Amino acid sequence: MGKPTGFIEYERSTIPNRAPLERIKDWKEIHDVSTEGKLKNQAARCMDCGVPYCHTGTNIGGMASGCPINNLIPEFNDLVYRGRWDEALTRLRKTNNFPEFTGRVCPAPCEGSCVLGSIEPPVTIKNMECSIIDRGWEDGNMTPNPPAERTGKTVAIIGSGPAGLAAADQLNQAGHTVTIFERADRPGGLLMYGIPNMKLDKQEIVDRRIDLMKAEGILFEMNVFVSENSDWTPSRLRSEFDSVILCCGATEPRDLPIDGRHANGVHQAMEFLTANTQYQLDNNFDGSNPDLNAEGKEVVVIGGGDTGTDCVGTSIRQGCKNVIQLEIMPMPPMERAPDNPWPEWPKVYKMDYGQQEAEATQGADPRSYLVMTKSIIKDEHDNVTGLQVVDITWDKNDKGQFVPIETDGTLRTINAQLILLAMGFLGPEQKIVDQFKLETDARSNVKADHEVYTTNVEGVFTAGDMRRGQSLVVWAINEGRGAARECDRFLMGSTQLP
């Protein structure tokens, strides 16, 4: 423990973001930088408590509590406090293949279960993680380290999101020859096209890691849609590779089956975000996608969560007239409710970067809670002009299920020329599941036990959102590492992978 009184002496202080009115002028990362002295002070707040729930990685109340990849958090905090940054990087890399990703986009369940957080604001674990890996890159410590020997075994991984990349990294370290197949034009999956550049820089952060993986011997095949109608069929993959790992994500979006749903100007959030990021990368961040753009429009985002926030931030940068975000659930409390005790994830009100930017430009948080969309209004050319909404409350029906109850007299119209659906995802796309002849569970995810990852087809494994459903990047890394371990065991008879 670096400083026994650190948590008493220093208040929590996160690495600041750039001012909202400044950062909305560009697509660069919103994060600012901090000094080494401030980082050491924050690391000193870690109590080395003896019961570090921060790295437990369990599910409590249906949500992550502690770090799902079991980062050695008290250890790297102590090393940062002592100025031993290289050793802190070594500790961090023992459990996390991509700290530069999680340090930017993870919601930090580790902080939600920090022991200090039960009585005071928690340790700034996420900031520390990001600072350690960024310094590692800056100091030249992140260099290619290909395996000394190859096993002669080959593995095909379908999907280059965090689960696929983690599995590839682990299997490559074990000496296997790994090829990643990705249907998009760039590798990264969710990291590349599902998260906007201002939250995770594609060229400086994502591409940098991909280039390192290529230098270590991992092969990438882009623009490959694995199907019975393509050059790479499931049967060809199984015959030409010793094993296959499916990491295709849970990309089937939840839809809104109401009148007017198919009007022009109503889009799934991921369609909007992907089109914008792809255009930005193709055009060196000069302008916005002319075919799917919020400029000058009244925008309504239906749904909360990270994806909804990203739609808000993207719309503002594109120059929308205004943006409203509708949530069907109630506004969270300002502090933990009695039924949400530590070390559960704190379900409390917060303003993420997108809402902060909307407040700075529009004067208020753009979110309205307990609002249900009834129908979408369109003109004679099928262009969306607005939507009808109603306030609701939640109550139990005769079966004991909570259902929305409309509030009389609250039906109203909201103007909109662009509506974005950010209501989450239902599971993997069924086509590839069917073509591999995979069994699924009751939620349509590929059936494979956690920590085992084997499907009903011999030699075929699955990991990430495709197996567990929509989840966090850090859980995808956890699953990719686990699937790599079991794949290695299948190929070699035993494994030394963690």
Successive 10-residue mean pLDDT values, the chain, 498 residues:
87 96 97 93 91 90 91 96 97 98 96 94 97 97 97 98 98 98 97 97 97 98 94 96 98 96 98 96 88 96 95 97 97 94 94 97 98 98 98 94 96 98 95 96 94 97 96 96 98 97
Indicate which CATH number applies to the domain containing 448.
Answer: 3.50.50.60
Residue 476 near residue 487 (C-beta atoms within 8 A):
no
pTM, to two decimals: 0.96
Assigned domain for 148 exists? no
Verify that 241 and 311 share a domain, yes or no.
no
Q: Which two tokens stand for residue 155?
A: 């593995």
**Residue position matching structure tokens 């959030």:** 269
The pLDDT score that the predictor gives to residue 362 is: 98
- Give 458's contacts (C-beta < 8 A, 6+ positions apart): none
Count of structural domains within the chain: 3
Domain containing residue 36: CATH number: 1.10.1060.10
User: What is the rounded CA–CA span in Å between residue 160 and residue 179?
Assistant: 10
CB 48 within 8 A of CB 6: no
**462 in any annotated domain:** yes
DSSP state at residue 17: B
Q: Which domain holds residue 76?
A: 6-138
Domain limit, last residue, from 372, 400, 423: 423
1 is a domain residue: no
- Give the per-residue pLDDT at 11: 97
Q: For the chain, give me the number of helices (H) and strands (E)?
A: 17, 18
Nearest to 60 by CA among 446, 329, 339: 339
Q: What is the SS3 assignment for 334?
A: coil
The contacts of residue 176 (CB under 8 Å, 6+ apart) are 150, 151, 153, 154, 155, 488, 491
Nearest of 266, 261, 258 to residue 374 by alpha carbon: 258
Burial of 250 (0-12, 13-18, 19+ CB in 10 A): buried
Tell me whether residue 188 is in a domain. Answer: yes
Judge whether 241 lies within some domain.
yes
Are residues 286 and 213 part of one domain?
no
DSSP annotation of 483 reads H
With DSSP H G I counted as helix, E B as strand and the rest as coil, what are the percentages for the chain, rounded to 5? 35, 20, 50
Q: What pLDDT sits at residue 1? A: 64
Quote the tokens at residue 477: 């890394």
Longest dimension (CA), the chain: 72
Contact 97, 91 (CB under 8 A): no
Asked if residue 414 and residue 317 are part of one domain, the reply reads yes
Identify whether residues 204 and 160 lie together within a single domain: yes
Whether residues 243 and 286 share a domain: the answer is: no
Tokens found for residue 107? 């919601």
Backbone angles phi, psi at 192, to 5 degrees: -85, -50
Q: Do residues 42 and 123 make contact, with C-beta atoms less than 8 angstroms apart?
A: yes
- Residue 135 is encoded by which pair of tokens? 């310094």
CB 365 within 8 A of CB 358: yes
Alpha-carbon distance of 142 to 210, in angstroms, equals 12
User: Is residue 170 located within the same domain as residue 237?
Assistant: yes
Could you give the residue ranges of the DSSP H alpha helices within 192-296?
Answer: 207-215, 234-240, 269-282
**Domain membership flag for residue 259:** yes
Residues 215 and 247 in one domain: yes
